[in-house]
Structures are given as structure tokens and as C-alpha cells.
Amino acid sequence: MKYILVTGANGQLGKSIQEVAKNYTELRFDFKSSKELDITNIAQVHSIFSTNKYDYCINCAAYTNVEQAEKNPEIAFRINEEAVKNLAKNCLEAEVVLIHISTDYVFDGEKKTPYTVNDIPNPINEYGKSKLEGEKYIQKTLNKYFIIRTSWLYSKKYGNNFYKTIVEKAKRGEILSVTDEQIGCPTNALNLALFIMEKIVNENVNFGIKHFTDDIPMTWYDFAKLILQENSIENNSILKKEKNYRTFAIRPKNSVLE
């Protein structure tokens, strides 16, 4: 029976993994929230790896606030780079396969076609830079790892995300101004969780960088429209295209992953 540590287990992906894990009785899980396991704490991480015989570590812990990362990059780098180094070192010592979740934001968005795993990253904001540094260290340190880049991750149940925000605002009858200046592939966290589970169950040894999305490119405006239709609340709100969407962080215009 494979024993799997899941860090950041209370986030939207961690919760989604907990949901699908019930169907994998041949696997055993140790779900740790950020409060239960602080991956920036060297001693704490070493202790849990040395007292448990894990086969896999799924790292769902990350700093994902793109705007705040721009204003306080040291926080993003502490969690997305330094803490990842900490996990990678312990995975190496304990012979644990690391499954690390990364992002489309490692790319600059200038490419006109979908990004492949062979494209050279060139992040344009602090969040993307911090995630790329974590990726680099894993590749330098480990042979047995999966770096799974995904894009526009959302859950219909868990966490704070674009999907839930649109639904809540629409139900309140608010005007929704949504940009159509960016294109990506919204990805349901449940589907990503299933993809990760299959890697483990099938004992996949085709290690390295992988891209996983729900494979339907669209703008944020298109996604908002889809969300409203799916929840039958088109008439509860007014959806407007926003051409001059302003953010503190520069964001890639095209972050479609192949």
C-alpha cells in the first residue's frame, strides 16, 4: 500500500484530493494542512519525513496571491522556492517521489500557440519567478519527481477562486466587469486531483515536467459567461467586457498549456 503525504491539504486542490482519495482504497494518505505542517520549517519537515515511510509527497502548499507577491516578493519566494528546496532535500534523503504543482505563470505569455513542456520559461511577475525557482531546484536535486504545471485552477466547492466569486457576485445581482485580454485553460481541481492519483496508482515512472489543464482555451470573460450559464444565473447579473483591467502584477496574455 502506497503511503502519500499531502501538504497544503486545506487548499482547493488539497481538499479535492481528499475528496477523490476515498475512491482509492489501495492508497494511504497523510493529509497535512499548512498549520499542521509548515513546509518552511526545516526541523518540522525533517521530523515528519524521518518518522514516516512515505512513497510520495504531493506538494499542494504554495503562495498563490499574484498581486501580493508583487508587493511582498519575499513571502512568495520563502514558500514557493525555499520551502520547496526543503521538501526536495527531504524527498531525496527519504527516497520519496515528489509531485509538485506549478503554474502557467512561469511563461511570459508572448507565444501565439500553446506552451509545451520544452518551451523555455520566462516569468514576468514575482509569483511566476518564485514558482520557477522552486521548479529549478527540484530538477537539480531529484531524479524521481513530477512537476505538474496547471492553469487557472478552480474548485466549485473549496477555497477562494474566480469560479466561486463570479457565482456569489451574480447571485447578489452585481455588475461583473471581466477582462477578455488574457487567454488560458480553466482547470477544475477535481480533474487535476484525478490526474495525480492515476500517476500514483499506475506507478508512472515517466518523470519530469508535465502540463495538465482541462484543455479548453478561453478568456476570463468567456469563463465568466460559462459559469453563469452553468449555474443558470445569467439574468441575475450584467456581464461586461473590461478592456482596461488593471492589476499591480503584469500577467501573461497567453498562458494556454499544451
Confidence band for 97, pLDDT divided at 50, 70 and 90: very high
**pLDDT at residue 242 in the model:** 86
**pLDDT at residue 234 in the model:** 82
> What share of the chain has pLDDT > 70, as a percent?
99
SS (H, E, C) the chain: CEEEEEECCCCHHHHHHHHHHCCCCCEEEEEECCCCCCCCCHHHHHHHHHHCCCCEEEECCCCCCHHHHHHCHHHHHHHHHHHHHHHHHHHHHHCCEEEEEEEHHHCCCCCCCCECCCCCCCCCCHHHHHHHHHHHHHHHHCCCEEEEEECCEECCCCCCCHHHHHHHHHHCCCEEEEECCCEECCEEHHHHHHHHHHHHHCCCCCCEEEECCCCCCEEHHHHHHHHHHHCCCHHHCEEEEECCCCCCCCCCCECCEC
- Decide if 170 is inside a domain: no
* pLDDT, mean of residues 238-252: 85
Averaged pLDDT of the chain: 96
pLDDT single digits (tens) 150-160: 999 999 999 99
* pLDDT, mean of residues 174-197: 96
Does position 245 have pLDDT exceeding 80, yes or no? no
**pLDDT at residue 70 in the model:** 96
Residues counted in the chain:
258
- Decide if 34 is inside a domain: yes
Confidence band for 130, pLDDT divided at 50, 70 and 90: very high
- Decide if 173 is inside a domain: no
* pLDDT, mean of residues 96-101: 98
**pLDDT at residue 232 in the model:** 93
- Decide if 28 is inside a domain: yes
Residues 76/63, Cβ–Cβ less than 8 Å: yes
State which residues form the domain around 80.
Answer: 2-155+188-214
Q: Which of 175-184, 210-219, 233-242 has the lowest mean pLDDT?
A: 233-242
**pLDDT at residue 153 in the model:** 98
Does position 236 have pLDDT exceeding 90, yes or no? no
CA distance linking residue 9 with residue 167, whole number of Å: 24
CA atoms 165, 167, 168, 174: torsion sign: positive
**pLDDT at residue 237 in the model:** 81
Does position 21 have pLDDT exceeding 90, yes or no? yes
**pLDDT at residue 243 in the model:** 76
- Decide if 244 is inside a domain: no
| Whether the predicted model's global pTM rises above the 0.85 cut | yes
Confidence band for 207, pLDDT divided at 50, 70 and 90: very high
Number of domains in the chain: 1
CATH of the domain at 110: 3.40.50.720
CA distance linking residue 16 with residue 215, whole number of Å: 19
* pLDDT, mean of residues 128-134: 98
- Decide if 235 is inside a domain: no
Q: Which residues are catalytic?
A: 127
Does position 246 have pLDDT exceeding 80, yes or no? no
- Decide if 42 is inside a domain: yes
**pLDDT at residue 194 in the model:** 98
pLDDT single digits (tens) 32-88: 999 999 999 999 999 999 999 999 999 999 999 999 999 999 999 999 999 999 999
- Decide if 120 is inside a domain: yes
